[in-house]
Amino acid sequence: MKMEGGHAAVLIIFIFCSALLPSEATKRGSGNQYLYVGFYDKTCPLAEQIVADAVSRAFWTNRGNAAGLIRLFFHDCFVNGCDASILLDSTPSGEPVEKESPANGFTLRGLEVIDEIKSELEQECPGIVSCADILAFASREAVVRSGLTHYPVPAGRRDGRSSRAVDVIGNIPGPSLTIDAIAEIFAKKGFTIEEMVVLLGAHSIGVSHCSSFDYRLYNFNSTHSQDPNLNIRHATYLSFVCPPRESLLAQVEGNQAVAFDHPSPNRLDNIFYVHLLHGNALLQSDQAMAYDPRTSKIVTRLAFDLQAWSKEFPKAMIRLGTVDVLTGRKGEIRTTCRAVN
């Protein structure tokens, strides 16, 4: 009899704890708000499948869409949280929106993919799926298309009503920032140095335009015209693709897009970290991770352990999706991702 009572008590405590800590829910940001896996199971059961199909189609049309979607997600979440503010073309205030900031400028990709998904979802279940969750699901599908295994994405984000270019400043790191400055930005968003290095492995796919790094080739600083941390052979190749801006060739060719990662420019893998070890990064900020004492060991570990990075990257993406989210009654569910309701 006594034993049974003990069991019952343990069981009750267990149930109580499970209720307090839903295993798949993620508590983040202010208030007691949760994101959870399967958020649309009852209200729009096909939501995640519709996103998956659309991203898959977009990927086979242009693989660059995968990189574009992952970057959109990062740029959304680091400015005012994951609230789809990056997608707004304008807001009632009339101020310049995030899209118009120089950090986003002309280089965002994948916006039409989100439009396509949103219009399909509005047909299927009007007013239910937020643009912020669409970005979270779509970036997951982009990761899967790029070669990593499927992972569950907690949902329940709501869409913000503000988007201001000025808010991008100080939240989206620039490519010439020091590791100190970059780590500070990531820390403000709740990331460890380790997670930061893992997340930057996203630069294993997609492109960078010459304008983001050509200063490393021609006018680095007052003592070095070329960045001494740039591998000489890589520098020769890059100077060929990105001639000096004032040259006739550059004026004919324009601002070229260069793949971050050879030989697997569309595959999420750890070759990016191997490149860092050899001085083959495009961005000064990426290269700096191989030299800074706080990050260099992590870079080396990941360069030698594809398995570890392939596991840690999805986790870091899930965490990215929890930054300052709006849940519950905050925000809204937009009808179109480009405008507030």
Ligand X SMILES: *[C@@H]1O[C@H](CO)[C@@H](O)[C@H](O)[C@H]1NC(C)=O
Binder among 30, 223, 240, 263 for ligand X (CB under 6 A): 223
Q: DSSP letter string over 158-192?
A: -B-S---GGGGTTTS--TT--HHHHHHHHHHTT--
Stretch that binds ligand HEM, among 12-20, 171-179, 229-237, 243-251 (CB under 6 A): 171-179
Return the number of other C-beta atoms located less than 10 Å from residue 90's C-beta: 15
What is the distance between the alpha carbons of residues 261 and 73, in angstroms, rounded to a whole number? 20
The distance of closest approach from Cβ of residue 174 to ligand X in the complex, given in angstroms and rounded to an integer, is: 16
Choice between 28 and 109, CB closer to ligand HEM: 109
The distance of closest approach from Cβ of residue 249 to ligand HEM in the complex, given in angstroms and rounded to an integer, is: 19
Q: Is 34 helix (H, G, I), strand (E, B) or coil?
A: strand
Residues between 181 and 210 with contacts to ligand HEM, criterion CB under 6 A: 182, 199-200, 202-203, 205-209
Binder among 23, 30, 149, 222 for ligand X (CB under 6 A): 222
Q: How many helices (H) and strands (E) does the chain have?
A: 14, 4
With a CB cutoff of 8 Å and minimum separation 6, the contacts of 136 are 73, 82, 153, 155, 157, 321
Binder among 31, 228, 244, 254 for ligand X (CB under 6 A): 228
What is the distance between the alpha carbons of residues 258 and 276, in angstroms, rounded to a whole number? 16
Return the number of other C-beta atoms located less than 10 Å from residue 8's C-beta: 10
Choice between 91 and 146, CB closer to ligand HEM: 146
Choice between 75 and 216, CB closer to ligand X: 216
Using CB under 6 A as the binding rule, whether residue 219 contacts ligand X is answered as: no
Q: Is 234 a catalytic residue?
A: no
Which of 75, 150, 234, 275 is catalytic? The answer is 75
What is the distance between the alpha carbons of residues 146 and 67, in angstroms, rounded to a whole number? 9
Binder among 154, 156, 160, 173 for ligand HEM (CB under 6 A): 173
Q: Contact positions toward ligand HEM, by CB under 6 A?
A: 64, 67-68, 70-71, 74, 107, 109, 173-175, 182, 199-200, 202-203, 205-209, 212, 283, 285
